[in-house]
Chain A
Amino acid sequence: MRRRPGIGGLQTAAAARDQYRLLGENVAKLRTDLMKEQLATFRSQLEEFARKHKNDIRKNPAFRSQFHEMCAKVGVDPLASNKGFWAELLGIGDFYYELGVQIVEICLSTRPLNGGLIDLQELCKLLRQKRKHDREAVSEDDCLRAISKLKTLGSGFEVISAGKKKLVRSVPTELKKDHNEILELAQAQGYVTVDEVERRLSWTHGRAIDALDTLLDEGLAMIDDGHSDGKRRYWFPCVSSISSFGADS
Chain B
Amino acid sequence: MQKLGDFKLPHFFNYPPYFTLQPVRETREKQVQLWKDLILDYCRTQKIFIIGLEEEFPLFSNPVIERTLSHEAREAFFSALVSEGRAEWLDKGHRKCLILWHRIQDWAGIILNFVKDNGFEDSVMTVEEIRSGIESRGTELHGIDRTILMRALKILEQKGKLAIFKGTSADDEGVKFSV
Contact = CB atoms under 8 A, between A and B. Distances in A.
Interface of A: 112-113, 115, 191, 216-217, 219, 222-228, 233, 235, 237, 240, 242, 245-246, 248-249
A224 B27 contact: no
A117 B11 CA distance: 18
B45 to A, nearest CB: 15
Contacts of B12: 242, 245-246
Interface string B4-17: 00000011101111
Interface residues of B, number: 23
B10 A246 contact: yes
Contact of B22 (A222, A228, A246): A222
B27 A222 contact: yes
A129 B19 CA distance: 28
A4 to B, nearest CB: 96
Given A222-B27, A227-B66, A242 B11 contact: yes
Given A219-B24, A242-B11, A249-B10, A224 B16 contact: yes
Contacts of B16: 191, 224, 226-227, 233, 235
A233 B20 CA distance: 10
B2 to A, nearest CB: 12
A179 to B, nearest CB: 15
Contact of A223 (B11, B17, B30): B17
Contacts of A224: 16-17, 19-20, 67
Interface of B: 10-12, 14-20, 22-24, 26-27, 29-31, 34, 66-68, 70
Nearest to A247: B11
A248 B11 contact: yes
B17 A228 contact: no
B27 A219 contact: yes
Contacts of A235: 15-17
Contacts of B19: 224, 226
Query: Considering residues B22, B27, B30, which has the most beta carbons from chain A within 10 angstroms of its beta carbon?
Result: B27
Contacts of B10: 245-246, 249
A113 B24 CA distance: 12
A226 B14 CA distance: 13
Give me the 9 closest cross-chain CB pairs, A-B, nearest first.
A245-B11, A222-B17, A112-B30, A224-B17, A226-B67, A224-B16, A235-B17, A225-B20, A245-B12
A106 to B, nearest CB: 15
A223 B16 CA distance: 9
Contacts of B31: 222
Contacts of B29: 112
